[in-house]
Structure 1
Amino acid sequence: MTVQNPPEGYVGVTPYLTVSDADAAIGWYVRALGAELKYRMAWNGKVGHAELAIGGGHFMLADEFPDMGMLGPGSRGGTTVRMLVYVPDVDLAFHQAVTEGAKELYPLENKPWGDRSVQILDPFGHCWTLATHVEDVAYAEVDARMAAMGDQSEG
């Protein structure tokens, strides 16, 4: 039997999140983002490893294990990573996420590159972009649309 690398359902890069309460996070990702729990491994009274599927891909998570250097955003003072997940209906997904306690970081709107998207902060300190691809746009057209918007940077 041939071993598939990466395993089925995985792509070249797979996010691995550390959270302060993995069981609560798993429940939230299932309810708010429509994730499916594929595997959960208990270790020393905590979630040592979990795998979830969402939007055609997978991500992993675990509880904090400070002695191993595994700390969530709350223990580190924030996160530097954002995940993007494509969903069939971003308006519905955004409503569900907010209902379950997510905070809106950037508004839901159509973007110059063809996505309708919103950025949220989940209750565990991780940033997510929820998006529905609504239009195929060539890179040159994206550049033209961005130029037409003008310089949006602060300061």
Structure 2
Amino acid sequence: MAFGRNPPSLQAHLCVKGGLEAIAFYEKAFGAECTFKQMAQDGVRVLHANLALFGSEILLHDELPEFGGPVASPHAHGGASIALNVNLPNPSDVDAAMARAEAAGAIIFMPAGDVFWGARYGRLTDPFGHVWAFNAPLAQG
């Protein structure tokens, strides 16, 4: 899913330490597809990558302090400042997505459960410090 000239109006751009490992994790944990990857001049760090997942696209790059600016990975700041919320169609999808991510190395800190706003919801942290929340509406009775 390459968006090219018509990207979504809002995209997450994740900064990580270990870009190639992050791409491999997101492919295994979330079924992401890396649609573009440009390595930095050192041949070790990811300068820019596009990942298609959950019907959307996120951007990703390694920490690149030589380019300046305040962007660093969650580990550099002591934790994430936002959560990426993934809306899924079915409550069982929340449990399945979290189990798949945990098997790939994510840490669940809020197990999936039925919550007061009428959804199945759970949260986890990926190995790169980013927080992911999974949400699906409960069946209307």
Shift of 1:135: 4.1
Question: CA 1:5/1:54 → structure 2, altered by over 3 Å: closer, same or farther?
Answer: closer
**1:93 aligned partner:** 97
Shift of 1:77: 1.5
Instruction: Report percent identity of matched pairs.
Output: 33
**1:149 aligned partner:** none
**1:129 aligned partner:** 133
Give the alignment of 1:133-144 within 5 angstroms.
133-135=137-139
**Matched residues in 2 for 1:56 and 1:118: separation?**
19
SS for the counterpart of 1:125 is: coil
Query: Structure 1 segments of 4 or more deviating over 6 A?
Result: none
| Structure 2, unpaired ranges of 5+ | none
**1:34 aligned partner:** 31
What whole-Å deviation, never above 9, does each CA across 1:77-109 have from its counterpart, x for those lacking one?
A: 111011011235111111111111111121211
State the AA in 1 paired with 2:127: P
Return the TM-score normalized by structure 1.
Answer: 0.76
Shift of 1:59: 0.6
**Matched residues in 1 for 2:39 and 2:83: separation?**
26
SS for the counterpart of 2:80 is: coil
Task: Number of aligned residue pairs: give it.
Answer: 131
**Matched residues in 2 for 1:90 and 1:77: separation?**
27
Return the TM-score normalized by structure 2.
Answer: 0.83
Asked whether the equivalents of residues 87 and 93 of structure 1 are also in contact (C-alpha less than 8 Å), the reply is no
Q: Is the aligned partner of 1:112 residue 2:111?
A: no
Task: Compare CA radii of gyration and give the structure with the larger one.
Answer: 1
Question: CA 1:108/1:65 → structure 2, altered by over 3 Å: closer, same or farther?
Answer: same
Shift of 1:6: 6.8
Give the alignment of 1:4-153 within 5 angstroms.
7=6, 10-44=7-41, 45=43, 46-67=45-66, 68-69=68-69, 70-88=71-89, 89-135=93-139
